[in-house]
Amino acid sequence: MVHHFEPTHYYNTIGSHKPVLHVSDGDTIMTSTVDARGQDNTGETVTRRGNPQTGPFYVENAEPGDTLAVHLDKLTPNRPIGWTRPVVASHIMDAEYIRTVAQDIPDTETLCEWEMNVEDKTVTLINPTNTRLGRMTLPMSPMVGCFGVAPSLEQAISTATSSNHGGNMDYRGFVEGVTVYFPVFASGALFHIGDGHALQGDGEIVGTGIEISFDVQFTVRVLKGKKSFWPRGENEAYIFTAGNARPLDQCIQHATTEMLRWLQSDYDLDPRSAHTLLGQCVEYDMGNVYDPAYTMVCKIKKILLENIGINTHSVHNDFSRI
């Protein structure tokens, strides 16, 4: 079933809020998200800033201990202008460098504006245009900055951060066509989504991607009895796991441990094979290093598993057939 949902209010936390819609296993939801400052597709500020979330969506039959699969069907910027912050965050630079160049660091409050070209899939810097970058044009790559499910213990966690429930991971790999798996901590999973970026560098080191409102479409599936501990995902080429914490070293521990669990439970690898495969073939992508919790993603190419006779057909493939 396909639901068209028009949001009327948004949340700045991911939590056990009253659901805006009840949907079933296999349903598709078409809706929209406002940008990080609460501006909608008309540019109007309709809610409080800070990655406001559309939802939560209650998925029938999802219970704690299950896993919720969310396939990102479509992510489309739905207004002409997005914005970015202009300065690398202080904690991303050497502390002593900040002190010595503080006067030369650009004004942190004057935002940049970027024009969307959805047909060409490009973005163009349109303000200011008097820097060396001029009217720089870059490829568009729409991605979800912040999404997830209600955390454990009826917590309501700020959309500025992330944890095992997902949240503000700002990973460039959360693009159209990807399937994301979240551990379920509350009845109905209570899925939230927001904070669209037309483009973003690794780490979101200026504190923003190109912030923009989205039209989004996604499809949900409940994996009954499937236990997971951290967000997982897959695309055509990779399976991956995400660890969210600080410092990054700890993200690596979470993501790597989750991958070891996954390879052994679902992909038929004995411990020695799982460890050896990771040793020589693992790849890591860096999500957010701006927020209170950082994100690191641990990836394995599916072809490596296929080459040794392991079937990587999965929920993701079912989604792709839709």
Answer yes or no whether residue 235 interacts with a copy of itself by CB under 8 A.
Answer: no
Answer yes or no whether residue 89 interacts with a copy of itself by CB under 8 A.
Answer: yes
Q: Find the binder of a copy of itself among 43, 64, 246, 320 (CB under 8 A).
A: 246
Answer yes or no whether residue 75 interacts with a copy of itself by CB under 8 A.
Answer: no
Of 21 and 92, which CB lies nearer to a copy of itself in the complex structure? 92
Positions in 260-299 near a copy of itself (CB under 8 A): 260, 268-273, 275-284, 286, 289, 292, 294
What is the rounded distance in angstroms from the CA atom of residue 255 to the CA atom of residue 241? 5
Of 69 and 293, which CB lies nearer to a copy of itself in the complex structure? 293
Answer yes or no whether residue 233 interacts with a copy of itself by CB under 8 A.
Answer: no
**Phi, psi (rounded to 5 degrees) for 88:** -60, 135
When computed from its CA atoms, the radius of gyration of the chain, rounded to whole angstroms, is 19
Of 1 and 153, which CB lies nearer to a copy of itself in the complex structure? 153
Whether 118 and 74 have beta carbons less than 8 Å apart is answered as no
C-beta of 293: minimal distance to a copy of itself in Å? 9
Answer yes or no whether residue 95 interacts with a copy of itself by CB under 8 A.
Answer: yes
Q: Find the binder of a copy of itself among 21, 30, 46, 98 (CB under 8 A).
A: 98
What is the rounded distance in angstroms from the CA atom of residue 168 to the CA atom of residue 89? 16
- b/e 268-280 (16+ beta carbons within 10 angstroms → b): ebeeeebeebbee
What is the rounded distance in angstroms from the CA atom of residue 20 to the CA atom of residue 55? 6
Of 121 and 224, which CB lies nearer to a copy of itself in the complex structure? 121
Alpha helices in 86-134 (DSSP H): 95-101
Positions in 125-154 near a copy of itself (CB under 8 A): 125, 128, 131-134, 136-138, 152-154
What is the rounded distance in angstroms from the CA atom of residue 229 to the CA atom of residue 165? 9
Whether 208 and 83 have beta carbons less than 8 Å apart is answered as yes
Answer yes or no whether residue 56 interacts with a copy of itself by CB under 8 A.
Answer: no
Positions in 190-219 near a copy of itself (CB under 8 A): 199-203, 205-206, 208-210
